[in-house]
Every structure is written in C-alpha cells, then in structure tokens.
Structure 1
Amino acid sequence: MQLLKTIENANLKPNIEKKIIDIFSTKSIDFEHRFLELTEDDLENLSKINSLIIENMDFLMDKFYDHLLEFKETKDIMLEKPGLAEHLRKVHTSYFKELFSLNYDDNYLALRFNTGLTHLNVNIPFNVFMGSYSYFLSLVIYFIKDELPKRGFSHKEILNIVNSIQKIINLDITLVIRAYYSKEMSEKEKLSDDFIKRLSRIAEFRDEDTGSHIERMSYYCMTIARHLGFDYDFQMDILEASPMHDIGKISIPDYVLLKPAKLTDDEFEIMKTHTIKGYEILSGSDSKIMKFGAEIALSHHERYDGYGYPNRLKGEDIPISGRICIISDVFDALTNKRIYKPAYSVEESINIMKNEMGVGKYFDPAVFDAFTKGFDDIMTIKNHYKGSIR
C-alpha cells in the first residue's frame, strides 16, 4: 500500500481530509465512475493490459528511477538517507501496481488522496510531483504502444487502451490536486487538532527516551487498521486518538516512570494505574476522539489471553482499538531505546513478540497478521520518525 511513504513531521489534517474525501466518496462507486468519466469500457480496456503492466513494473521502475536521479531536486530527496531510495522504489512499485488493480473503490480514492496530502506535508513541490507522475505516464504509454502490436492489438484498440490509462491517471492527479489545495482549516479545527496533539505529548515530555513514539505508534495503528479492512473514518479516528494512549502517565511519580531498572512488584502496580488514570482524564469529554482515546488508554495493556491489565479482559472482549495499539506500542518500545533497556533490532523485536510474548497470548492473531501484512509501511514510518521532533 502507498500510504505514508516518505513522512517526516507529517500532519495529515484528518478533518480536512474527511471533508474533501466526502466529495469523492459516495455510497455508490457508479457515481465516482461518472464523475471521473471512468466507464465500464475503460475498465474492460484496463483489464486487457493490467497484468502486462504489473509483470513489467520492475522494468518501468528502472526507467522511472533513472529519470528521477537525473534531477537534483528529486535526487536530493531520495539520497537524503541511506537506503531511502531503495525503500521508496518498493513503495512506488506497490503504488503503481495498485493503480492497475482495477479496484477503484472508496478506500482506493481515500488512499490516493492521502498520497497527495503526504507529499504536501513534507513540502514536495507540486511541480515536482506532477512532473514525476507525467513522466511515469509517458513511460507506460510508450511501453504499451511498443508491446501491444506484438500481441495482435489493432491501432484502434491501442488508442482506446491509452485513453483509458490516461483517465485512471487523471483520477489520481485530480485527487492530488485536491490535496495540494486543501491547506485551509477553520481556526476551531486547528485549535482542536493542536490541543489533542499537545495533550498527547504531556506524558512524553517527562520521559526523555520516548522521542517520536506517539507519531510512530499512531501511524502504526492506522496501518494495521487499514490491513484489517477498517474504513477510512476508523483509520483516521485511531490515528488521532491513539497518541493519547499513555496520557495517564502524568499521574505516575518520577521514581517509577524514570526508574532505569526493573520495577518492583509494588512499583509495577503503581505503573499499571496509568491506564485507569488515562481513561478518567479522557472519558468525560463530549469529543468523539477523546472518548476513543479513553477506550485506548484503558485497554492498550490488555492481553489476548486475559492476563493483561487493568481489567484482565480476554480475546474479543478487548476493544479492537486496544488489540491494535498493544502491537503498535510494543513494537515501538522494543525497537527504541528506553531508560531501562537498549533498542533491539527489528529482527530481535519480532522474535520477542512472536516467541517470547506470543501471538495468541499477548496479541490477537488476526491483528498481528495485519501488522505483518503492513510491515513495509511500518518500516517506512519507523525510518522517517527517528528521534525527537519536539
């Protein structure tokens, strides 16, 4: 999936996203096809070449990346960090394969919109995005015009296919344009969004080792939710609410919270109260996101086998938000330095989660499977939210 590829200091502005996605997202996919003039004939045309494009995506990506590396602006972005160009190539490959997946539903439209918003938020100029996309379009069209005559397609058939390719790419570009021109939010929305983010940081400021923990884990949560099949609204809700999971730690004394060694039994009992305190702080609000945050704060340490805390809930009695957040929280805690432990490698962390903690013990197997399926995005998020961004 293409969401969240090159994010650093990103803020997806969920309220604005939802407003603009509502323009495109309707109860009927037929409306989307009419609005963007994508017809059944177009879908049939695309079905004739989608396998060919996907099978030759590596060849197309070789050409695409050779082109991007010729220009200083795109070259500087890709070579900013070791391994970034290789990872971006994997993500772009997935992105363009999905372009020809023939599954142009509401979720597809939302994800494509988010791609444009992501580029906007990391300050990639609109002309750079459009120039790169236009070049990819030309690559595909030249490839199609070269290959299809060898496969017996008539000149008229090829022109119809090229026209349909241009239409589906125009759908993408339309959403990207909407994203680039969706900057403005009302002052009330800005204030609400800023308040939630600042509230989420209160506990983090007391723990110098957490760095960008809340950014990483919240995007992990959204990625897992997407791979579980949840709709766009749920994905945005968990992105906004999950940063508040540890707000209750403001009630934990420093000698417990900042202890550079294993907690005693009594100290651990004190630490466990942060779940209840977080719930108490957030649950009285009329805000949908605050209430969702309260649910997460209370449940993100419950274990699938029923041996978690504070309520020893088991299996599906644990809210799905809690079952998602425990995986996100644990993975981030393991792979980053904390006052009481060093950072483990990704491989060590996954081994601990699978074999020492246990899928089916700590973690819901279905949710862990979604975490695994979204691991490319998880690693992108991890790599781009390194250190503190306070």
Structure 2
Amino acid sequence: MNIKKVIKFSFMLILVLVVLIAAINTVVLYQIKDNELSKKNISALVFLQENMNDIVIETINTKNEDNLKEIKNKFSQEEKNFEYIKNSFILSEEDEFHDLIFSDIHKDSNIFKSLEKLFLNEKQIEHAFDRIFDLQTEKIKLIDEFKLIYPKENSQRKKLEQEILKSNDLELIKLFSDLKYYSKETLYQHKNQVALDKWTSRIKLLINKLDSNEFKNYLKTVEKIGLNIVTTKNIEIEEEKLSREILNIININKKVNLEIETNIEKISSSFLSNVYFIVTILLLLTIAFIVLFAYKVYRNIGLSVDEIESKVQDGLVEIKTLNSEIEHTQKEVVFTMGAIGESRSKETGNHVKRVALYSKILALYYGLDEKEAEMLKQASPMHDIGKVAIPDSVLNKPGRFDEHERKIMDTHAALGYEMLKHSNRPLLKMAAIVAYEHHEKWDGSGYPRGLKGEDIHIYGRITALADVFDALGSDRVYKKAWDDERIFNLFKEERAKHFDPKLIDIFFEHLDEFLKIRDSLKDV
C-alpha cells in the first residue's frame, strides 16, 4: 500500500473513531440530562403529595364553604400538576434512538416499581381527600345548623328550669339537675350517643312525671341538636383517621423517593463506568492509529524535518517581506491621494503631514492605543480627498464663496466618503469616516449630516481640530495665515461649539508638542 492510500485510510479511520467518541459523548450528556430530569420529576411528585397533605389539613380546619371550594380548586391544581409529571414519564416510555444504547433510568425495573407505588399512593390521597371534602362540607352545614338550634335549646331549658324551681319539688329539681349535667356532657365533653341517651332519658322521666308539652317540645329540640353533635363528632373521628392514612402514605412515599434516589445513583455510577471504559478503548485505538500514521508518514516522506523547517522559515520571511511592502505601499498610496486632494486646492503636502502628526498626538492623549493612533495618522491625510471632484473655479477661488459655491464646496465631505466607503481595508474604512465627518461640529451645526457631540466619530473630531489648527496658521488663496493668539482665542471660544471640549483641553495641555511639529514642517 503506497503512502497516499495509507494517509487516506488512516484519516478515514481516525475520523470514524472521533465521530464515534463524539456520538457516545452526546448520548452520555443526553442520558445524564434525562436522568437528572427524572430525579427532579420524581422529587416533584413527592413534594406535590406533601402539598396535597397540607391542603387536606387546611380542608379539615376550614369553617367556611366558600373557602372549602377554593381549597378544592387548589387541590385539583396539584392533581393536574401531578398528572402532568406522571404523563411525562408515560410519554417517555416510547422508544427513542438513544434508548437502543442506554435505556432511560426510570425504565429500570426497581425504579419503575417505585414509581408505580407513587402513582398508586397518589390515587389513594385523591380518594381520601374527596371523602374528607364531603365530610367537611357536611360538617360545616351541621355546625351552621347547630348555631341556629343551640340558642333555641338554651332558651327552652332556662324557661323549663324556672318552672321546675317554682314547683319546689325536690325530685323534679334533682332530675332537672341531671338533665343539665348530661346536656353539658353531650354538648361539650363526650359528644357521643351514650351521653345523648342519658340526656334524653332524663327528659323522658320528667315528661312521665309532668306530661308537659314544653318538655315534649324540648325533647324534640334536644334530639335534633344531639344528633347534630354526635354526627359532627363522628365526622371529626373519620377525618382524623383519613388524615393519618394520608400522612402514612406521605411517609411511605418519602421512603420510596429515597429508594429511587439510591437506585438512580447506583445505575448512574454503573452507566458512567461502562461509558468510561468504552471511550477509553476508543481513545487508545485512536492514539494507536495516529502513532502508526505518523510512523508511516515519517518513513515514506523524503523531505527531512530540517528541510521542511527551512522552507517554512524562508516562506514566512518572504510573506512577512511582502506584507510589509504591501502595508508601506498602502500607506504611501493613501498619503499620496491625500496630498493630491490638497494640491488641487493649492495647498502643500506639508499640510497633510502636519495634520497626520497632530491627529496622532491627539489620539494618543485621548486614550486610543498606539496601533489605532498610528492608523489615524495614516488615514487623516485623506480628509479632503473629495476635493478632487470639486471644480477648480470653486476650489481655487480667491475670497469668499457665494451661497451656490459654498454648497458645491461642502459636497467634498460626502464625495470623499463615497470614494472610500466600499473598501474593506481597515485603513481605508477609517479614512472614509475621517473624510465624511471632519466638518461636523460638536454643537451639531456642521455638515454634511449635522451630527452632534459623541455621535461624531472620534476620528472625525480629532481630524477636525488638527485640520483647522493647521489651516488657520497657513496661507491660502482666500486668506492670510492667522497669528497664534488669534487661533488660540478662537479655539477657546469654539470649545464645546465647533470642537470636542476634551480635545481642546488636550491641545492646550500639550501645545508645545503641536508647535514643535508645525515649526519642523513649515511650508517653503
């Protein structure tokens, strides 16, 4: 087998192994995520059942039918939440591709049985709640009924007591005293049928002795209120029993949840161990083939490492030289184009050189890094490149422009931008910004777009100040150079009007550097 076939086969085999490892890792991550979701959902099921238990307690304690309805709605919502999570387990029973390799953790037989316990226990809690709800509804009605009957019983008993006392019959008084005793036992203490029977038996004895309609009516009232009390007590007993059953279910579920978590940890640990073993084998195979591949290449390629390194170094040097030459050429072209733009308006090349150096100083002190400041130095000479498209009659007119000529002259900023904006070169992109925005003013009164403050790019703000400083101090066809005092006074007046106030401050703080550049590059 020749070297080309060896390389081709080796690359294909390594690619297959890498894809296989990646696929296994993907399945592992999915499985871990799925297992965590299963654990989270199982814990949520137990938590929901605990909430249901709290709602049951709230149901037993409520004394208002409207509140009872609200509680039932709350319980129904918890049931829906439980069913939603339960259905997520059922839906995930459908086989998925990754299940062919690693089955979902909740499909493990032990975990599945535990889940079935949780689902069954939830049904028991639902049935118990429905029974408690019905009992509590009945209990509230009985309590409301008791509140209506009790005043009547109390009133009847007091009236009968007065009649008995008037009779001065000791036997009747004793019987009535027993009646009062058993009424309290029935109403407040025992609340059972035995206490009620003792109460009614004393009333019947009084009826036998007196044959009084008042006592007969009182007996009916007592039987009615007694039945109410006994029934209410029986409901409370049954509610307490059901509540204990639910609490017992909750405790069982907590144990089931703990069992599930333990089983999940065991399965996850075993799962990760198996995956680690498989991935390790695949990695070893990959490394072995890479080593074999490297050996074959080393044996069959005639060019030595030293020769390769030598050729690479030579190539790098050549590339570096070419890049340097391209960069210098690009900078020279940009500078030359800027000089051409200035020369059309009878301005010297020294103007663009001074503007370039002023721009770099301002950029550095403003906070731009060395690389960006140097690039601005190279781009700023292009600020008036648009002037190449302005007619000579306008460009070189001595004296002031009329309104029409001013409009023509002002188009040079947009024209310069249009010339440069299509380039993807960072230097020319920066030059496009400079050309476009160097006539904008801090207060928004500039052109061509009337930008204001920091909406004007820092490149435009810097070049504007550098250009104006040099232009004012130089002779032009339409004016004589200004003296320094007049220039400085103007800059102070135009701070935060024409110019960025921070740049004006930098200019005066480092004035000696600007003057030194101007003196070293005077126009001849």
Q: Given the two structures, how large is their TM-score scaled by the length of structure 1?
A: 0.51
Partner in structure 1 of residue 498 of structure 2:
362
Which residue in 2 is equivalent to 1:227?
365
Provide the aligned C-alpha RMSD in A: 1.9
Query: Which residue of structure 2 lines up, in the alignment, with residue 58 of structure 1?
Result: none
Larger Rg: 2
The answer to whether the Cα contact below 8 Å between 1:210 and 1:338 also exists between their aligned partners in 2 is no
Q: 1:253 and 2:394 equivalent?
A: no
Compute the displacement of 1:211 (Å).
Answer: 4.6
Q: Distance in 2 between matches of 1:264 and 1:276?
A: 20
Counterparts of residues 1-390 of structure 1 (less than 5 Å):
186-355=324-493, 358-387=494-523
The whole-number CA distance in structure 2 between the counterparts of 1:349 and 1:211 is 22
Structure 2 counterpart SS, 1:327: helix
Residue identity matched to 2:425:
S
CA distance in 1 between counterparts of 2:504 and 2:348 reads 23
1:227–1:373: 8 Å Cα contact kept in structure 2? no
- Name the residue aligned to 1:135: none
SS at match of 1:246: helix
Q: CA deviation at 1:190?
A: 3.0
Report the structure, 1 or 2, having the larger helix content. 2
Equivalent position SS for 1:245: helix
Question: Would the aligned equivalents of 2:341 and 2:382 in 1 still touch at CA under 8 Å?
Answer: no
Q: 2:436 corresponds to which letter in structure 1?
A: L
Matched position secondary structure for 1:212: helix
Deviation at 1:318, TM superposition (A): 0.5
**Gap runs ≥5 in structure 2:** 1-320
* 1:104-145 Cα deviation digits (max 9, x unpaired): xxxxxxxxxxxxxxxxxxxxxxxxxxxxxxxxxxxxxxxxxx
Question: Residue 396 of structure 2 aligns to which amino acid in structure 1?
Answer: L
Percent of residue pairs identical:
41
Give the whole-Å Cα distance in 2 for the aligned partners of 1:225 and 1:319.
Answer: 12
Residue in structure 2 matched with residue 95 of structure 1 by the alignment: none
In the TM superposition, residue 285 of structure 1 has moved relative to its aligned partner by 0.9
8 Å Cα contact 2:491-2:504 kept in structure 1: no
CA distance in 1, matches of 2:349, 2:421: 26
The number of equivalent residue pairs is 205
Contact 1:223/1:371 (8 A) holds in 2:
no
- Structure 2 vs 1, CA of residues 289 and 217 (structure 1 numbering), >3 Å: closer, same or farther? same
Q: Which has the higher contact order (CA 8 A, sep 6+)?
A: 1
Q: Quick one: which amino acid aligns to residue 234 of structure 1?
A: E
Distance 2:363 2:456 in 1: 15
What is the one-letter code of the residue matched to 2:456? I
Deviation at 1:366, TM superposition (A): 0.8
**What secondary structure does 2:338 align onto?**
helix
Name the SS of the counterpart of 1:338 in structure 2: coil
1:296 CA drift (Å) = 0.6
Q: Report the Cα distance in structure 1 between the residues aligned to 2:322 and 2:490, rounded to whole angstroms.
A: 44
Cα deviations across residues 166-225 of structure 1 (Å, max 9, x unaligned)?
xxxxxxxxxxxxxxxxx9984323322221121111112212244511000111011111
| Cα distance in structure 1, aligned partners of 2:478 and 2:348 | 12
Shift of 1:370: 1.3
Q: Does the CA-based 8 Å contact 1:221-1:239 persist in structure 2? A: yes
Q: Distance in 2 between matches of 1:285 and 1:318?
A: 21
Instruction: Name the aligned partner's letter for residue 510 of structure 2.
Output: G
Instruction: Decide which moves more: 368-377 or 219-228.
Output: 368-377
